[in-house]
Structure formats: structure tokens, C-alpha cells
Amino acid sequence: MYTLFHGLYKYLVQKDDYCVLILGLDNAGKTTYLEAAKTQLLRQYRGMNPSKITSTVGLNIGRVVVGGIALNFWDLGGQQELQSLWDKYYAESHAVIYIVDSSDRDRIAESKETFDKMISSQTLQGVPLLVLANKQDITDCMGVREVKPIFNENAHLIGRRDCMVMPISALTGEGVDEGIRWLVDCIKRNSDVRPPRNQDS
């Protein structure tokens, strides 16, 4: 009888569990983005003051339930010396959010190079990819029409996977919700290739 109720409880309460990596160069706005996502998608969550957010050394984690599934966000530090640790997380990930500082033209080539190296990994093959042109609230930033062709130059590396480039402002929260909901649909579609972490439990 316990087994029956336990199984029913799990069916009704437990959400499929997925991991989403948040990657990008340092100062691209990854942690601010994670805070904006939690603020928009978690009831009664009071976000951190953006002026108090500092560069991530290591890992920030956030969990939200959206579209009937649980997303575990892993915000990894973007400093060059920390990028070598990213691939340790690839095998467990179900999607990647790559954040671009669209106001920093001087580092766009560096961001593109880092992006290409990341998507070249065999471990990430077929994993849905959301590229976010962040800091759209800043005057004279690059819009999606300018960012998209840069990151599409090596389309063969992106391969046959769900991929979207969207404009956002992590600071104001604009575009955050739409991107995550798009990603949820992609993760669900891809779940036969990358099943949720708790499927066997």
C-alpha cells in the first residue's frame, strides 16, 4: 500500500528535473539574469539588488518550476581561467543559455570565440541553445540583427539543434520570461535524447 501511495505522490508532486547552464564571458550579466529569472518565476522571491552582484567565482545555482518541469540553473563564472571548468558540467546539462554583453563591442570577438569552443564540444551535441543579447537597456548596444550573424558564422558547429537568439535586459527583466518558456518547450522535445535527471528514481 505504501508503494502505491508513494508512486501516486511522486506522479502528482515530483517534477521532471533538468539542468540548464548559464555561460558567457565575465560581466556579460549571467548572475543578474539568474536573479531576474528567479524574481519573475518564483513567487515571493525578492531579488538581489543588482548593485550588490559581483563576478561569479565558481557557481551560482537557482531552481524554478515552469511549464510543469523543474529547471536547475547553473550560472558558471566566465573569467578566462574558469572557462576550463565549464566542460565538467556539459554531460549533465539539458540546455545552454549563452549570454552576450551586447554593449561591449570590444569583447564581441572574444565572446564569439568562447561560444564556438563551447558548442564544439561533442558532449553538448544536440542540446538546445538560447543565445541572449543582454544589456538592451544600454544606448547604442548591438541589436539582435547585429549579434545574430556574428554567432551564426559557424552554423555547422551549432548543427541540428534548437537554437534561438533573443534580445533581453537582465537588469529590467525584459525578455527573460519569453526566453525561458521557449527553452522549456525545447527541453521537453529533446527529453528522449536527454531524459530528466530523476527519471530513473
CB–CB of 78/28 below 8 Å?
yes
Residue 57's pLDDT is: 55
Residue 11's pLDDT is: 56
Which domains, and CATH codes, for the chain?
Answer: 15-190 (3.40.50.300)
Residue 56's pLDDT is: 60
Which helix H or strand E contains 21, and what residues bound it? strand 16-23
CB–CB of 172/137 below 8 Å?
yes
Q: Please, what is the end-to-end C-alpha distance for the chain in angstroms?
A: 19
Residue 13's pLDDT is: 63
Q: In angstroms, rounded to a whole number, what is the distance separating the alpha carbons of residues 199 and 201?
A: 6
Ranges under pLDDT 50 in the chain: 200-201
Report the binding-site residues for GTP. 24-31, 78, 134-137
Burial of 98 (0-12, 13-18, 19+ CB in 10 A): buried
Of 175, 183, 186, the closest CA to residue 32 belongs to 175
- Cell 522549456: give the residue: 184
- What does each C-alpha distance from 190 to 32, 110, 113, 156, 171 come to in angstroms? 27, 30, 26, 19, 30
Report the binding-site residues for Mg(2+). 31, 56
Report the binding-site residues. 24-31, 56, 78, 134-137
Listing DSSP states for 26-81 in one string gives TTSSHHHHHHHHHHHHSTT--PPPGGG----SSEEEEEEEETTEEEEEEEE--SHH
